[in-house]
Copies of this chain bind each other. A is one copy, B any other.
Amino acid sequence: MAKGITKRSDDYSQWYIDVVLKAEMAEYSPVKGCMVIRPTGYGIWEKIQQRLDRMFKETGHVNAYFPMFIPESFLKKEAEHVEGFAPECAMVTHGGGKLLEEPLAIRPTSETIIWSTYKGWINSYRDLPILINQWCNVCRWEMRTRLFLRTTEFLWQEGHTAHATCEEAEEEALKMVHVYERFAEDYLAMPVLVGRKTESEKFAGAHHTYCIEAMMQDGKALQAGTSHHLGQNFAKAFDVKFQDRDMELKYVWASSWGVSTRLIGGMIMNHSDDNGLVIPPRLAPVPIVFVPIWRSEEEMALVLGKAREITADWDPLFFKIDDRDQYKPGYKFNEWELKGIPVRIELGPRDVASNSVVVVRRDTGEKVTMPAEGLRENLEKMLEDIQTSLFKAAKQRMTDRTYTVDSYDEYKARVEGGGFYRVFLDVDNPEVEKQLKEDTRSTVRCIPFDAPEEEGPCMITGKLCKHRVIAAQAY
């Protein structure tokens, strides 16, 4: 509607692209499928990194860095892994003007290079566990890309842990999917389903995969984070053994887990509206913007002086004062609305006279007058309220649009319209999921951890199942 943004109700996909571009979050680069993350978007990635990194460290992890290049032969060492990733790799064949003896893949994920390194680090049970995370870029050659949601190069973190027992690896994989759940809900204000992927949908090379799945405003699912119990697959592929307390040589157990810049896409699709971006306050690099209003140099000195007086002892990361002289207030209101700043403060000469300010919430558009006295505390409360409201609204939407369906005909008729579908489906049989995908372009998103025990016939084959799974169309 305003500012050249397509309405969500007209074309949700176009709306998303419009918001990303107009809010200057990201843009496509001259290199096919790659994106430029602009300062507005990168500022949010920095907040995501800070918060998540703290959570990783609080759970005992440390960061490290492994090479971006993976010898082709390494990828081939784990059979499922190479099948899953080799077709998507970018390959370096020349370096320093010469043909390389062995082509190098740019990491699509780092299990292979990391486990080839862990071999040198692990000899004894004393060397375990290893709890390492890496922040880096990865590359998967994608045919159809969408800014943040699916790009050829993207930024992410990947945790890679090594354990003495199966139980510890399992505990780690579970712990981290719950860290992701907490992060998504507490910071992105994005409610998620937590569960296990089916055999068909799990990570290439994993024993099993846990995930968080979010619902976008159009009812489609977004896989927002995954955590894998890798069993001993990579330890066996790279021959990583340790001498246990009982003196026996055993293969090491592994987990890996990751989230990416895709989270930014999820944030946008959860909260933004026809006026542009809406950033949850806890992820806003600067949550408050002052827009002083003046018509003369005298007024300018007055309102800017007042804004500086009010904020004299505030944290500089809490607010900014938009003192640009080349733009009118109306232009600035529009710009900050479009860019999703949680709270805008208008401050004109009359406000100075009454020692108050006008406060505008980005999420509801609500305008209230607040006394200059005690403003910071009131804004902090408002920001918390915005954070909570955004989460509640998204949660309500997910609840409202989660349907229990038993007939495949009904499912086929409805799934295109969006929503999560609680269905009985025989996920032990990969053919069933294949058919589901072919018929409906939808997939099983997960087997939720909290799925109650209930028995019913698979909606495709009729085979008796023990619980419902969540099926949906997805990004």
Residues of A bordering B, CB below 8 Å: 27, 29-31, 34-39, 42-43, 45-46, 62-71, 74, 86-97, 103-104, 106, 113, 116-117, 120, 126, 132, 136-137, 139, 141-143, 152-153, 155, 326
**Interfacial chain B residues near A136, Cβ < 8 Å:** 137
Q: If the complex has contacts A91-B94, A137-B68, are A132 and B39 also in contact, measured as CB distance less than 8 A?
A: yes
A96 engages B137 (CB within 8 Å) = no
B67 engages A116 (CB within 8 Å) = no
Instruction: Find A90's partner among B29, B86, B88, B92 (CB 8 Å cutoff).
Output: B92
A and B contact pairs by CB, cutoff 8 A, 25 listed: A27-B117, A29-B66, A29-B67, A29-B113, A30-B113, A31-B104, A34-B67, A36-B64, A36-B67, A37-B64, A37-B65, A37-B66, A39-B62, A39-B63, A42-B64, A43-B63, A65-B155, A69-B153, A88-B96, A90-B94, A91-B93, A92-B106, A95-B141, A96-B143, A137-B137
Chain B nearest CB, measured from A273 CB (Å):
25
CA of A86 to CA of B95, assembled, Å: 10
**Interfacial chain B residues near A37, Cβ < 8 Å:** 64-66
Chain B nearest CB, measured from A131 CB (Å):
9
Instruction: Find A97's partner among B30, B87, B96, B117 (CB 8 Å cutoff).
Output: B87
Task: A39-B64, A43-B63, A92-B93 given; name 6 further pairs at CB < 8 Å.
Answer: A27-B120, A29-B67, A30-B113, A31-B69, A91-B92, A126-B326
Chain B nearest CB, measured from A320 CB (Å):
12
A38 engages B64 (CB within 8 Å) = yes
Chain B nearest CB, measured from A371 CB (Å):
32
Q: If the complex has contacts A29-B66, A46-B63, are A87 and B94 also in contact, measured as CB distance less than 8 A?
A: no
Chain B nearest CB, measured from A307 CB (Å):
19
CA of A29 to CA of B112, assembled, Å: 12
